[in-house]
């Protein structure tokens, strides 16, 4: 899951709010009030200011996000003793997010096309488009400069029972060689039911395009930088997954998980239970597979439930997308994150709600084509709780 380095470099040192990684060991006793604050987070090489938004609900949960790449920079939730910890990987400053030897899309808003497109090529309306093959020999997560490497416009969103931030970005026709001028937005909101909601919308002008937006947060419910996640217990509400080739490109076949016990999470089990078998001796083996979410695409339904026995933290994911990519952090390489903590392989997991990989080249998959006059919509909800 590596990237080429960003074309943008840091100009000024970042000014980081104290919530960026702190909070470990603090008790959460919400004051009954919601809040949203904005602080400066630094500037890019061209002088564009980057802001950080801090969302707090009445229970004391805290979510921080920055306008650079639409990154979620921290999610602080309590354990069974009420102590807060940040459960998503990140960095102390803007420089970390702009360093693509370290930042493997940590918490970024991914587009235009999340996941892989075979050979970086697809045909739409009779024209063939060649995208960057930044995951050689394939295209990954939008190309050399995806949506998690640009600065989004932002505005506060305050509603009864929730606070949030609306990120908006206009991707011009031909950016990363995608067709059509795309206007997309995502509202990240935190409510008093301890839910982090992601509402994506997009429209395109001039030409049709392909689109697959998602968020790429890396989770460790014991607290980021606290070791491997192989003892986390995962349930996937998915009876099938997509068979892939050696390059993780779908073959077009949907496989019943009951026919492959290694891939079956329909009953909760430890991520590491069958991990050694899944690795099959490969250096970077492990889970990096798209699962088919049970139920009807377009309707919000349970996709995944993860729990950490050590802390008691639980995260449920509901989505209206057809698929969810389960990635067990196989390509993490010990890079230093928040507070200098090392992020080893399998030090976090990703559950990315999305359409299927390589959909533009797979006619049997749900379409990812967006035409002028249509509106793309995608909702995903992460609900946090503590096991009794």
From the candidates 71, 105, 216, 232, give the one annotated as an active-site residue: 216
H helix runs in the chain, sequence order: 94-98, 275-279
Q: Which residue reads 């994150």 in tokens?
A: 337
Instruction: Look at 16-30, 153-167, 226-240 and tell me which has the smallest mean pLDDT.
Output: 16-30
Using the predicted structure, report yes or no on whether residue 347 has a pLDDT greater than 90.
yes
Give the chain's radius of gyration (CA, Å).
19
Active site (annotated) includes residue 382: no
Domain 233-386, CATH number (from 1.10.357.10, 2.60.120.560, 2.70.98.10, 3.40.605.10) = 2.70.98.10
Q: In sequence order, what DSSP letters do the residues of 77-127 get, joined into one string? A: EE-TTSBEEE-B---SSHHHHH-TTT-SSTTPEE-SB-SEEGGGEEEETTE
Q: Tell me what pLDDT residue 388 has.
A: 77
Using the predicted structure, report yes or no on whether residue 8 has a pLDDT greater than 50.
no
From the candidates 352, 355, 378, 382, give the one annotated as an active-site residue: 352
Report CA dihedral (169, 174, 176, 178) to the nearest 10 degrees. Answer: 90
Q: Tell me what pLDDT residue 35 has.
A: 97
- pLDDT confidence band for 282 (50 / 70 / 90): very low
- pLDDT confidence band for 27 (50 / 70 / 90): low
- pLDDT confidence band for 284 (50 / 70 / 90): low
Using the predicted structure, report yes or no on whether residue 3 has a pLDDT greater than 60.
no
C-alpha atoms less than 13 angstroms from C-alpha of 120 in its C-beta half-sphere: 18
Distance CA 312, CA 160 (A): 29
Q: Please, are residues 381 and 248 in contact by the beta-carbon 8 Å criterion?
A: no
Q: Tell me what pLDDT residue 295 has.
A: 98
CA 60 to centroid of chain Cα atoms: 23
pLDDT tens per residue, range 65-99 = 999 999 999 999 999 999 999 999 999 999 999 99
Active site (annotated) includes residue 127: no
Q: Tell me what pLDDT residue 252 has.
A: 97
- pLDDT confidence band for 31 (50 / 70 / 90): low
Using the predicted structure, report yes or no on whether residue 280 has a pLDDT greater than 90.
no
């Amino acid at each position: 899951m590596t990237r080429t380095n960003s074309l943008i470099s840091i100009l000024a040192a970042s000014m980081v709010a104290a919530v960026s990684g702190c909070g470990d060991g603090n008790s959460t006793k919400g004051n009954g009030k919601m809040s949203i604050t904005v602080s400066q987070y630094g500037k890019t090489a061209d002088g564009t200011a980057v802001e950080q938004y801090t969302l707090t609900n009445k229970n004391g949960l805290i979510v921080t996000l920055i306008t650079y790449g639409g990154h979620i920079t921290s999610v602080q939730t309590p354990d069974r003793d009420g102590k807060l910890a940040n459960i998503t990987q990140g960095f102390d400053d803007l420089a970390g997010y702009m360093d693509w030897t370290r930042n493997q899309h940590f918490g970024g808003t991914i587009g235009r096309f999340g996941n892989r497109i075979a050979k970086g090529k697809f045909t739409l309306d009779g024209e063939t488009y060649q995208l960057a093959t930044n995951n050689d020999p394939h295209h990954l997560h939008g190309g050399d400069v995806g949506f998690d490497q640009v600065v989004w416009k932002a505005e506060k969103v305050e509603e009864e029972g929730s606070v949030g931030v609306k990120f908006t970005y206009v991707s011009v026709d031909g950016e990363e060689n995608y067709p059509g001028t795309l206007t997309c937005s995502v509202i990240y909101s935190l409510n008093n039911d301890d839910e982090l909601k992601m509402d994506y919308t997009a429209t395109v002008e001039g030409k049709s395009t392909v689109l697959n937006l998602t968020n790429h947060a890396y989770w460790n419910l014991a607290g980021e930088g606290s070791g491997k996640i192989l003892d986390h217990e995962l349930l996937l509400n998915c009876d099938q997954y997509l068979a892939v080739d050696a390059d993780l490109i779908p073959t077009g076949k949907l496989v019943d998980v009951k026919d492959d016990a290694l891939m079956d999470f329909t009953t909760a089990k430890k991520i590491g239970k069958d991990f050694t078998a899944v690795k099959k001796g490969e250096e970077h083996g492990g889970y990096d597979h798209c699962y088919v979410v049970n139920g009807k695409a377009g309707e919000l339904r349970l996709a995944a439930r993860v729990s950490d026995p050590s802390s008691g933290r639980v995260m449920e994911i509901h989505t209206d997308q057809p698929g969810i990519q389960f990635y067990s952090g196989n390509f993490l390489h010990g890079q230093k994150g928040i507070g200098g903590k090392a992020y080893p392989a399998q030090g976090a997991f990703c559950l990315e709600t999305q359409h299927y990989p390589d959909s533009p080249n797979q006619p049997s998959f749900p379409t990812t084509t967006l035409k002028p006059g249509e509106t793309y919509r995608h909702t995903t909800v992460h609900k946090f709780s503590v096991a009794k």
